[in-house]
Structure 1
Amino acid sequence: MKRTSYSRALVPAVAALALALTACGGGAAGGGASGTVAVDGSSTVFPMSNAAYELLSEESPGVQVTVGASGTGGGFEKFCSGETDISDASRPIKDEEAEVCKKNDVEFTELQVATDALTIVAHKDLAVDCLTTDQLIKLWGPNSKVDNWKQLDPSFPDQEIKLFGPGTDSGTYDYLAADVIADESESTRKDYEASEDDNVLVQGVSGTPGGTGYFGYTYFEENADSLKALAIDDGDGCVEPSAETAQAGEYTPLARPLFIYTNNAKYTGNEAVATYTDFYIENLEAIAEAAQYIPLSEDQYAETQSALEGIGS
C-alpha cells in the first residue's frame, strides 16, 4: 500500500531505533496482526506517526498504514466523517469539530504524544536574531500591514518582508492565531504564501531574502543549515527554541502539545488499528526522540497510557 515517505533525515534515527527495540525485545505484541490503518492530519505530527509505522513494520508486516498530512483541520474533517481511523493533530480538537464527530457517531480518545516548539524562521542572512512576542503579533496579526523589517524595530534592516506559513487547515496556523496572536477572529493576516507542506515553506523562506515563516521545530532542525531560528522574548529575554527550553516552560508562548486522536470503535474492532496504536504509545519516548520531538514528562506519559487503557472500558 502506498504511503507518504517521511524526511530522509529521520531514516538513520529510525533504523537505529528499530535495532534497539529488537535487541531489547521492545514493541507491543501483535506480530501476526494484519489489516489496514488510515491516518491523516497534522504535517507536524506526521514524522512521528510515519516513524511508528516504519518501526511496526519490522515486527508486524501484515499491518499496512497510510499516513497523510492534510493539516489538522483537514484531518479532523476526514476523521469525524469516518474516513480515517486516527487523526494527527497539533492542537486540541475544536468544539465544532467534536460536534461533527458526535453527529456521525464517531467516539474518540485524545492521546498526547509529544511536545513541540513552534519555530519562527528567517532567511539565513537576515540581520535579525530575536523578536518580542508583541513584534510577532504585530507582524502576523490579522490587520497587519507590516512589509519591511524596519517597521518592527528601527534597528532592524531596511528590507522587504516576505511571509510564508501554513494554510488555514493547519493546526500550526490555529495555534499561532488562537493562542499566540489571540485575536477574537482566531486568524492571522492573509497576504502570505501558504502551504500545508512544511518543506514548501522551508524552500520559500530559505530562497527569499527577507523571508520569514513558521512551522514545527523538527522541520527547522532538518534545515538548520539553510535557515535561522529567531529567538522569542516573551518578557524575560530572548529564548531560542529547543527541546530543553520547551520542556522547561521557558519557550513561551510557542511551546505546544501534539496529539493523535483514535476512533474508539476502530480501536476495539480493528486488530490493525489496535496493534498500531498500542505500539505507538508503548514506544512513544523513543519514537518522539527519533523524530526529533520533545518526549512527554513522566506524568504526561502516564496520562496518555491511562487514556489508551480507558478505550472500551
Structure 2
Amino acid sequence: MIPTVDLDAWRAGDTTVGPAVDDALQHAGFLLVTGHGVTDALRAELRAAARRFFALPASVKQEYAVRIGGRGWLPPGVEANGLVEGTVTPPDLKESFAIGPETSTGDPAVDDVWFPPNVWPAEVPELHAAASRYLAAMTAVSQDLLELCADSLGQERDALTRLARHSTWTFNINRYPPLAEVGEPEPGQYRIGPHTDFGTVTVLDREPGVGGLQVDVDPGGWVDAPYDPAALTINIGDLLEHWTGRRWRSGRHRVLPPQASAPQEELMSLVFFYELDHDAVVTPLEPPVGRVAGLDPVVSAPFLKERLDAISV
C-alpha cells in the first residue's frame, strides 16, 4: 500500500514507476523513495548540529524563538496540528527549528509572510552550513518529485515545476522529546496530532521509534509507516490533492506520543515542505484524470496561509 519507488529507475525510463505512484497516492498519499542522491553523511551531519542546538538551555534558545511562520526556534506549546481538522487538542509534544528560502521578492507584503530572514544560532555555527547543503539537495529532490507526479498522471513533466520557480518552501527540524522529559501526555495529545500537510510534496527524513509516524491508509485506517534507512518518506499535501481533482489523497498522518515502553526515546525528523510560488494559480485537473469535476482554481499563498493560521496555539 505504501511502496518504495526508485527515482533513478524513473529517470532511466522505467514505466512501472508511474502506476505505482498513482496507486499509492490514491490510497495513502505516501511513498518511500530511493535513488534520491542525499548522502547518509549529510543527513547525519545536519542531525548532529541540530541536536547541539536543541541541547542548549531554554533561556538561550528563547533568543531565537518565533511563532508559526517565523524563522528560528518554535518552542514546545506553540503548535497543535489537530486543530486544522477542527479537533480541540492539546499542543503537540515537540520543539522545532524552522528555516525558509532567502529569495525575497522585494514586496514587503509578500516577503514578511513568505520570505522573512533566517535566524542562525551563534552558539552552533555549523548548523548554517549543514542546513544549506541539505536544503539544496531537498530542493533538487522535490523538483524531481513534482515532475514524477505530473508524469504519473500523463501530464507535461513541468506542469507543476513551472509554478515553483520562486518556491515558498519551509524546512522544520522537529525534536520529539522523551517521555522522561515531558511527562505523561494529556488525553488526545500527540507528538504531532492527526493532520494533512498543506502544500505539494513533503520530503521527510525520519528516525523510527515506538512513538513514531503513523499513516491513515484507505482502506484500513492507521498503520505504522514503513521505514527504510536508505529511503526518504514522501507524502503529498492538500494543494496537490486539489490539483489532481481529488484523485490523489493528501496523506493524513500523526506522530504518536512518547510511549511508556520507551521512556528515553528521543526522535528527530528533518521535514522539508515544498510549495509552489506564492502567487501560483493551481487549476484542478478535470475528469477522467481528476475525480471531481468543476473544482475552482486556487492561489497558493492564501490556500496555505489559512491552514497555517489554523494550527497556531
Using the size of structure 2 for normalisation, the TM-score is 0.26
Higher helix share: 1
User: Which fold has the larger relative contact order, with Cα–Cα distance below 8 Å and residues 6 or more apart in sequence?
Assistant: 1
Structure 1 or 2, whichever has the larger Rg, is 1
TM-score (norm 1): 0.26
